Amino acid sequence: MNYRCPICSQTLQLIQQTWCCDNNHRFDCAKEGYVNLLPVQKKRSKDPGDSKEMMFARREFLNQGYYQFMSDRVNQLALEFAPDAIHGLDIGCGEGYYSHRLQRVMQTRGEFSLNGVDISKSALKYAAKRYKEIDFCVASSFEMPFEDNSFDFMLRIYAPSQDAELHRVVKSGGILITVSAGPQHHFALKQRIYEQPRSHPDIVSQIEGFELIHGERVQQLLQLEDPTDIANFLVMTPYNWKFTAEQKQAMTTAKFSCELDFKIEVFRAS
């Protein structure tokens, strides 16, 4: 899959280790193998996306397999709804945990190339080093460096996006699987923070240009005992900054359980 230039939208060609367009905009591949296609003038902050600390905590936590049941279900749905997909994209792929598991499963039935896009350089450094068979680029999901109608399968797990941009890069009839928080997700954490914790709103998602063709929730009780796993779990949630150091200390020295409630939705592009 060729990239398109984030500055002038021309197709980029890979010449040695540099992606170049006809207007001589040039983007070097990093030694880890990813390419940074987020031009400085389009960066909103110095180090956008998840920080190194969040990325590291998520990586350690996910590698213990605690969310594997969700990844497995996503992959089953990918096989079921996109059995013939050849070009896939993982949007906000982070350090590539879900990407490489998807790639492995999709390749069991034939050719499948996967691109991963994320705005966090530290996440992609790790991803590219570890998963050589996937093409990773640093870019924003709001302005992706791909041609129109590029992908027949897309995955978006807890990452921001914009409807029109999703629709631009997907092929007509292409499948998009999204994962977001179900009503009970992380409720035990909220109970520790808020006097009257509220569930996530139970709404059916709408994405312009796509038809929702399947929706389900997968739930499990996460039970943690290892202090490092508990600490990593806290850091990777959006609630980490709400806890004081004392609260965190207390939480990591006792057993901890928490609801996991993932909403998985499958869309077909018009």
Ligand X SMILES: C[S@@+](CC[C@H](N)C(=O)[O-])C[C@H]1O[C@@H](n2cnc3c(N)ncnc32)[C@H](O)[C@@H]1O
In the 3-class helix/strand/coil scheme, how is 100-116 assigned residue by residue? HHHHHHHHCCCCCEEEE
Q: Shortest distance, CB of residue 155 to ligand X, whole angstroms?
A: 8
d(C-alpha 113, C-alpha 137), whole Å:
14
Among 19, 50, 207, 210, binds ligand X (CB under 6 A): 50
Q: Does 232 engage in binding with ligand X (CB under 6 A)?
A: no
Q: Does 142 engage in binding with ligand X (CB under 6 A)?
A: yes
Query: Which of Zn ion, ligand X, none does residue 7 bind to, with CB < 5 to 8 Å depending on kind?
Result: Zn ion
Among 70, 89, 102, 119, binds ligand X (CB under 6 A): 119
Among 6, 12, 19, 58, binds ligand X (CB under 6 A): 58
Q: Does 138 engage in binding with ligand X (CB under 6 A)?
A: no
What residues contact residue 127 under an 8 Å CB cut-off, 6+ apart? 34, 93, 94, 95, 96, 99, 116, 118, 134, 136
d(C-alpha 37, C-alpha 33), whole Å:
13
Label the pairing between strands 256-269 and 210-224.
Answer: antiparallel
Q: Are 134 and 116 in contact (CB under 8 A)?
A: yes
* Degrees to nearest 5, angle at CA 117 with 207 and 8: 90
Residue number with CB closer to Zn ion (5 or 189): 5
Query: Which of Zn ion, ligand X, none does residue 63 bind to, with CB < 5 to 8 Å depending on kind?
Result: none
Token readout for 110 is 């034939």
Among 5, 82, 93, 207, binds ligand X (CB under 6 A): 93
d(C-alpha 176, C-alpha 95), whole Å:
20
Residue number with CB closer to ligand X (33 or 92): 92
Q: Shortest distance, CB of residue 13 to ligand X, whole angstroms?
A: 24
What residues contact residue 246 under an 8 Å CB cut-off, 6+ apart? none
Closest residue (Cβ) to ligand X?
49
Residue number with CB closer to Zn ion (21 or 230): 21
Candidate ranges 6-14, 156-164, 180-188, 209-217; the one touching ligand X (CB under 6 A): 156-164
Q: Does 35 engage in binding with ligand X (CB under 6 A)?
A: no
d(C-alpha 161, C-alpha 142), whole Å:
6
Of residues 4-33, those binding Zn ion (CB under 5 A) = 5, 7-8, 10, 21, 23, 25
Closest residue (Cβ) to Zn ion?
5
Q: Does 185 engage in binding with ligand X (CB under 6 A)?
A: no
d(C-alpha 27, C-alpha 4), whole Å:
11
Query: Which of Zn ion, ligand X, none does residue 96 bind to, with CB < 5 to 8 Å depending on kind?
Result: none
- Positive or negative torsion for Cα 55, 176, 265, 48: positive
Binding residues for ligand X, rule: CB under 6 A, are 49-50, 58, 92-94, 97-98, 118-120, 123, 140-142, 157-160
